[in-house]
Structure 1
Amino acid sequence: MTIFILCFLLLDTSSLGFPAKDVQVITDKQYFGVVRDCFREAKSSIKMMMFEASYYEKHLDSSSNLLIRELVAAKKRGVDVKVILERREEKERATLRNMKTGSLMAKAGVEVMYDPLNITTHAKLIIIDDGISIVGSTNWTYNALEKNHEVSVLIHSSEVANNLQNYFQSVWKTCSKGK
């Protein structure tokens, strides 16, 4: 048994079709710092799909507000920033929050689109500079960023990023700017 484990540990997994050599698990409150740092280091592009992104007027320094500001800051320094947000019924809470957040980002120059009403975009996906992907369960809400147990993974792989970029573009084509 020991020999089997040793052989497995020494095995070069690149021959098994695993495209990612560097994967980081992100749990709970770690998400904010990891994503913030990635946004600050972005050089060419940030693509994001999010089920719910909330901007809190009464809590200006909330984690979600700070991430939204980092996206806007990236746009202002020349990074191509595109965001897809969930949209359902007009009076639904997540839709109201997303429309408000999307409007703030769009006014700052971020390209924001909303999914079709008949489709739920439940994905939480970020692609940075065509080489870094962050996929997981974390919405940009107070509870998700501060209280909930959430898990995401950061993957350094241009192959994975390219596959997710293709998916992002296919969804982007079905979206609209809202009202």
Structure 2
Amino acid sequence: MTDDGVNIVPLLIGIIALLLFVVLYDWYKKMTINHHEVYFVMMGEPQCCNPNDANASPNNNCRKYCMGKLLKKIMDRINSAKHSICIAMYNFSNHRIADCVLRAHRRGVKVRLIIDKSMSESNESKTQAKRLKDAGIHVKVSGEGDKLMHHKFCLIDGTTAKGLLLTGSLNWTYGGLSKNCENVAFINNRRVKHLYRDAFDHIWNKYSVPFFRERA
């Protein structure tokens, strides 16, 4: 209370409460940050970077629907993984993306891969699955007959603040990155990442079996 009889305690409590609110709100925004990017590639569009050329150098001057730029974006995100990579991919035959997954495994990132059973028996997808399996990566297959494991998503570093979800229409194949109309969304949303992680774990634990080397 001041000399003139004014009680300042409620005012001080109000100021403290306001500061606490500002701090908590800032923390909430950081924990629930939404960051999204969407990339498209279009068949028939002129291409400035060949996605199958290891010497291509995509940059900010690339065309809007540059396939090489999308491939580089995917590879960069896999290369940035610190803790874990969960991949559910119907068809996975692109050796450049597989190279990135393999390097992540070798630097200690926990990698789990699920591919469709029918695709695991095709030449190119089988080659990459066997290669990753032989390197020590956990690889499973899912689907039977006309029941397909048709997902195309990758969750990098789980639900951490810097974790990232890649999802869309794109299979990690040469055709998907060189002649199709495709889309990939890069999403950092905590709730969405939780949903995809739970879905991945559900398939991993209930609807998949190990990919065996003798499938080669």
TM-score by length of 2: 0.64
**Residue identity opposite 1:178 in structure 2:** F
Structure 1 residue 104: Cα displacement: 0.6
Instruction: Determine the structure 2 residue equivalent to 1:134.
Output: 166
CA distance in 1, matches of 2:105, 2:38: 27
List runs of 5+ in structure 2 lacking aligned partners. Answer: 1-31, 42-66
Moved more, 140-149 or 79-88: 140-149
1:17-32 equivalences under 5 Å are 21-28=34-41, 29=67, 30-32=69-71
Q: 1:45 aligns with which of 67, 84, 87?
A: 84
**1:86–1:98 Cα contact (<8 Å) kept:** no
Structure with greater Cα Rg: 2
| RMSD value, Cα | 1.6
Q: How many residues align?
A: 148
CA distance in 2, matches of 1:158, 1:104: 32
CA distance in 1, matches of 2:33, 2:180: 27
Structure 1 residue 94: Cα displacement: 6.2
1:75-131 CA deviation, whole Å, 9 max, x = no partner? Answer: 00000010000013xxxx663233322111011121100003243011100000112
**1:53–1:140 Cα contact (<8 Å) kept:** yes
List runs of 5+ in structure 1 lacking aligned partners. Answer: 1-18, 55-63
**2:95–2:128 Cα contact (<8 Å) kept:** no
Match of 2:39, SS state, is: strand
Instruction: Determine the structure 2 residue equivalent to 1:157.
Output: 189
- Structure 2 residue 147 is the aligned partner of structure 1 residue 115: no
| Percent pairwise identity | 24
